[in-house]
Amino acid sequence: MTTAAATPLATRLADSGPSRADPAPFVRLDARGRARLELSVKGAKCAACIAKIERGLLAVPGVEDARLNLGAQRLTVTWRGAAASAASLIDVVERLGFAATPFDPEKSQRAIDAEGRRLLWQMVVAGFGAMNVMMFSVPIWAGGELGAGTRTGFYWISALIAIPCALYAGQPFFASAWRALRKGRANMDVPISIGVLLTLAVSISETALGGAHAYFDGVVMLLFLLLIGRWLDHSLRERARTAAKDLLALQSTNATRLRSDGATERVAARDVAVGDVLLLAAGERVAVDGVVLEGASEVDRALVTGESAPVAARVGDTLHAGVVNLTRPLRLRATAMADTSLIADLARLIEAGEQRRGAHVRLADKAAALYVPIVHTLAFLTFAAWMLVPDASWRVALMNAAAVLIVTCPCALGLAAPAVQVVATGRLFKRGVLVKSGDALERLARIDTVVLDKTGTLTLGRPRLVGAVDEAALAAAAQLARVSRHPLSRALVEAAGPGAPAAQAREIPGCGVEGEIAGAPARLGRRTFVDPQSAETEGGETELWFARAGAAPVRFVFADAVRPDAAATVAALRARGLAVELLSGDRPDAVEAAARAVGIDIAAAARTPAQKIEHLEALRAQGRRVLMVGDGLNDAAALAAADASASPAAAVDATQAAADVVLQGEELGALVELIDVARSARARVLENFAFAAVYNAVAVPAAALGFVTPFFAALAMAGSSLAVTLNALRLSGRGHRGKV
C-alpha cells in the first residue's frame, strides 16, 4: 500500500489533473497496520445519505470502519488487506450517487464556501423572480376588466421572467435529483424537480393555448421558499464545523527545536518528530505532547482537567499539546507528532461526536422518506387513470397529475418543523438561550439525563476568597498580589479592592511574590516559600500564604463558588423526570462538595476528555439520552458526543462551537426553560405533521378525481403552509414556566 508522499496535499491534487486525483498517494497506514483514506464527499444532505454511504462501504470485504462527517463533508474509511483499494472505495461511493475525491482541507473549505455563495445567489434570483412575476399575477387574480388577450400577454411576460429564474434557482434540486435517478434511486429533490418542471410545462402550454390559468408565480415562489431552507441548513452546518477547527487553532503552530549542535531553530509543529528536544519559554503553549527533561514551572492544564488553577510541572511529567507554560522555561522531549497529540485527538473526538449526532434522523426526514414514493405513485396513477377515461385528453390527464403534485407540494412538509424551530428559538433568545443547531430542539425534547460539568458550569469558574479573614492582613497581602497575574493573586485583589502595589515587589516564578510593606520584607505565595521551615498543606485546598517580618503566617483559602440558582435548577430538572449527574476533571473532594451543595447524588471526578466520552457512552448503552452541559476545552469532545449539549457564554470558542445551545448570563435556570420549550416544540411539530396528513387525505383524492384545478391546488397548498405556521406561533404565547 502506498503511503502519503512528502509533497503538500494541495500540490498533489493540482498535479493530478482536472478530472480526478489518483487516490493511492493519499492512503496512510496507522499504528495497527490498517489503511486509512479520507475523502471529500459531495451531495450528502441528510442522515439517510450517511447511512447509505456507510452501509455501502462496510459491505466491501476488508473495510473495518466508514465514517461520514456531514458537516465537514469528510468521509474516513479504514480497511485491511488487498480486497479493497482507494480507487475501488471511491467507485463504491460514486455508484451510490455521490461525488468523492481525496480530502484536502483547504480545497474542501473553498468548495463549501463556494456552495454557500451559489445557494445565496440562487435564493436572491428566485426572490427577484417571485417579486417581479407577482406584479403581473396580482392583476390576473383580481380579475375585473382584464381581457383574455391582456391576460395572455401578462402570462408571456411572467414566463420570460420565471423560466430563466426557475432554471437557475432550481439547479441544486435538479442536480441532486439527476444524481439520484441516474443511480436508480429517488430522494426528496426528485418530486420537487418534477413538480417545478411539470408546472412550468403546464403553464407554458396553457399560455400558448390561451388558457385561463398559469402558475409561473407559484414555481418561483416555491423555489424561493425551499432555497431559504437550504441556505439556512448550509449555514448551520458551516457553524457546526468550526468546533474542531477552533480547537486545532489552540495548538501552537510553531516550536523551538534544539539541534544536535546545540543551536536552536524555529520549526512548524507539523515538522516535530518523536524524540526531538524542544525548548518551551514562559507563556508559550506546548506544540506537541512531551515529557519534561529539565526545569520546573507551573502550567495551565485547563485543556485536560478543565481547572484553571496552575499545577507544578517537574522533570518526568508529561505535558500535552495545548498546555500553557506559566512561569519558568522548560526543556521537553517530544513523545508524539502534531497530528497524534492530545488536541488533534480531541478534534477527532469532536468530529466523531458531530457525525454521530448528525446521524440523528429528524422528523422531517422521516416524513420525507414516506412522501417521495407516495407522491410519485399517486401522480402516476392519476395520469394513467385519466388516460383510460373515455373522451379524456392527455391534457386533462396531465393537468390532474400536476394538480396532485402541486397540492402535495412539500412546502407544508418543509415548513412543519422549521416554522416551529423559528418560533421556539425566538422565544429562547428572549430568555438568553441561543440555539445553534437546526435539529437541536428535537434531540433536547427526548433527553432523560442531564450531565453537568463542575467548574464554570455548576460553579462560576473562578476562585474566590472564602472563610473569615483578617482585614489588615488581606489589605497588606493585596499589595504584593497586585504585581502578579496568578489567578489566586487576582482573586485576592478582587476581595481586597483597589489599592497601591508593594514597593520593590518582584514575582518569583513557581513560588510567589516578595517585596516590602511599610519598610518590612513580606512574602505571598506557596507555604514553603513564605515559611521555609514548614511543609506543603495537605488536603487539596487552593490556598495562598502571607507573612511579613515579625508576624505569624496568614492563610488565605479560595474556592469556586456554586452558581446561585444551581440547587433550584437541579431540583426543577428532577421534577421534570430527568436524572442529573456531575462529571468533572477536578479533584474528588471538590467535586463531592459541589455535588452535595446542589443536591446531586451521582458524581464522577478526575475524568479526562476521553473518560468523559466513555461515561456518556456507558449511559447511552443503558438506553439513556443525554444532555451534556460544560464550558471547558476538556468538555468540547463530550459536548459533541452527547445527544444534545449546552455551554455557558463564558466558555471558550471551541467549546461553544461544539455545543448545540449557548446559555447567556450566570444563571442555570435557562436550562429548565430550554427543556420545556423543546418538549412543547416537538408537540407542535407532530401536530403539524398530523394536519399535513389529514390535509393530504382530503386534497389528494379531490385533485386526482379532477375536482381541484392546479390553481385551487396552489391556493390549498398555500393555505396548508399558513396553517402550520399559525400552529407554530402558538408556541410563542406559552408562559415561561421554565423559570426557577
d(CA 346, CA 246) in angstroms, rounded, equals 11
> Under DSSP, is residue 26 helix (H, G, I), strand (E, B) or coil?
helix
> Under DSSP, is residue 464 helix (H, G, I), strand (E, B) or coil?
strand
Our answer to whether residue 453 is catalytic in this structure is: yes
Contacts of 391 (CB under 8 A, 6+ apart): none
B/e letters for 653-665, b = 16+ CB within 10 Å, e = fewer, are bbbbbbbbbbbee
Which parts of 359-446 fold into alpha helices (H)? 363-388, 394-407, 411-430, 440-445
CA-based angle 140:413:725, to the nearest 5? 70
> Under DSSP, is residue 379 helix (H, G, I), strand (E, B) or coil?
helix
Comparing C-alpha atoms, which of 51, 643, 653, 103 is closest to residue 353? Answer: 643
d(CA 257, CA 689) in angstroms, rounded, equals 62
Angle between helices 47-58 and 86-95 (to 10 degrees): 140
* Residue pointed to by grid coordinates 466508514: 66
Task: Give me the catalytic one of 217, 453, 635, 676.
Answer: 453
DSSP 507: E
Phi, psi values for residue 523, rounded to 5°: -135, 150
Phi, psi values for residue 181, rounded to 5°: -65, -35
- Name residue 459's beta-bridge partners: 562
Comparing C-alpha atoms, which of 417, 399, 450 is closest to residue 579? Answer: 450
Comparing C-alpha atoms, which of 463, 462, 488, 461 is closest to residue 630? Answer: 461
- Strands (E) across 269-316 are located at 277-280, 290-294, 297-300, 311-313
d(CA 454, CA 604) in angstroms, rounded, equals 10
CB 363 within 8 A of CB 689: yes
69 by Cβ neighbours in 10 Å (0-12 / 13-18 / 19+) ranks as buried
500 by Cβ neighbours in 10 Å (0-12 / 13-18 / 19+) ranks as exposed
- Name residue 471's beta-bridge partners: none
Taking only Cα atoms into account, the Rg of the chain, rounded to an integer number of angstroms, comes to 32
DSSP 340: G
d(CA 653, CA 642) in angstroms, rounded, equals 18
Hey, CA dihedral for 694, 696, 702, 708, is it positive or negative?
Answer: positive
Catalytic site positions: 453
